[in-house]
Amino acid sequence: MTSTGHLEQQLRTLRLSETAQQLPEMITEAEKQDASYQEFLARLLNYEQKRREEKRIERNMKWAAFPFHKTLEEFDVHEQTALSQKQLNQLKELTWLDQLYNLILLGPPGVGKTFLGVALGIEAIYRGYQVSFLPMGELVHILKTADVIRKSQTRKKRILKSDLVIIDDLMYMAMNQQEANLFFQLINELYDQSTIIFTSNKGPKDWGDLLGDPATTTAILDRILHRAEVIQMDGESYRMKYRKSIFGEENEQDKSVQN
């Protein structure tokens, strides 16, 4: 055993495993710099705290299962006329999350609904919350198979433990009665304990058509809209715009051929 081996073991027993790993280097460093006892202890504790936080973020990011990593800082407000910088800053403060206010991000494809959902989710993780991101199709699959597939069961448990659940592309497909019921059960369980962000290209008025049974639909909508902020995103599709700039020259050529 090395000279610090015993200490390392003790640190591990005390669940200071990050520090245990780093101890020899930290001691050498402190001796070299002639650090005071207080300074050394402060460094040690800071290190443990910092590493734990880093690991928490890493773990929660994995849990959340985002389709990509984009932050609010990367969100270009000039591209999204429906949202001002001030509103974006307000969203970033996450008071809606603490107050269990659902967010409903509406708009046609390509306007940045998924982007904004992911970016708010990532912000929430940095601020200590647990988040789950689910494309609608995946969510329905998880709910239907939670009793028979272990992976689905694990994910369902995580969803129920999340402070923020992001459901992407809600109602892009019609649900059968069984699916609608499972979905309602989930909304019911999340109600009053988690915040939900929905993205959709259809407004709540049209959701009813996709859920079939009016009683289930009314019940779900009641729950979702009871405390909700609807953000209507519009403007030209970012995807389309980007594509245009890539193919700009080609389009010009097309025109000249036609002429």
Residues in touch with ligand ADP (CB under 6 A): 75-76, 79-80, 107, 109-115, 199, 238-239
Q: Residue 78 CB, nearest distance to ligand ADP (Å)?
A: 8
Calpha distance 81→84 (Å, rounded) = 7
200 binds, among Mg ion, ligand ADP, none (CB under 5 to 8 A by kind): none
Choose between 110 and 121: whose C-beta lies nearer to ligand ADP: 110
Q: Residue 243 CB, nearest distance to Mg ion (Å)?
A: 16
What do you get for the CA distance between the two ends of the chain, in Å? 84
Part of the chain binding Mg ion (CB under 5 A), chosen from 20-28, 60-68, 110-118, 239-247: 110-118
238 binds, among ligand ADP, Mg ion, none (CB under 5 to 8 A by kind): ligand ADP
Q: Is residue 80 a contact residue for Mg ion (CB under 5 A)?
A: no
76 binds, among Mg ion, ligand ADP, none (CB under 5 to 8 A by kind): ligand ADP
Q: Is residue 114 a contact residue for Mg ion (CB under 5 A)?
A: yes
135 binds, among ligand ADP, Mg ion, none (CB under 5 to 8 A by kind): none
Q: Which residues bind Mg ion (CB under 5 A)?
A: 114
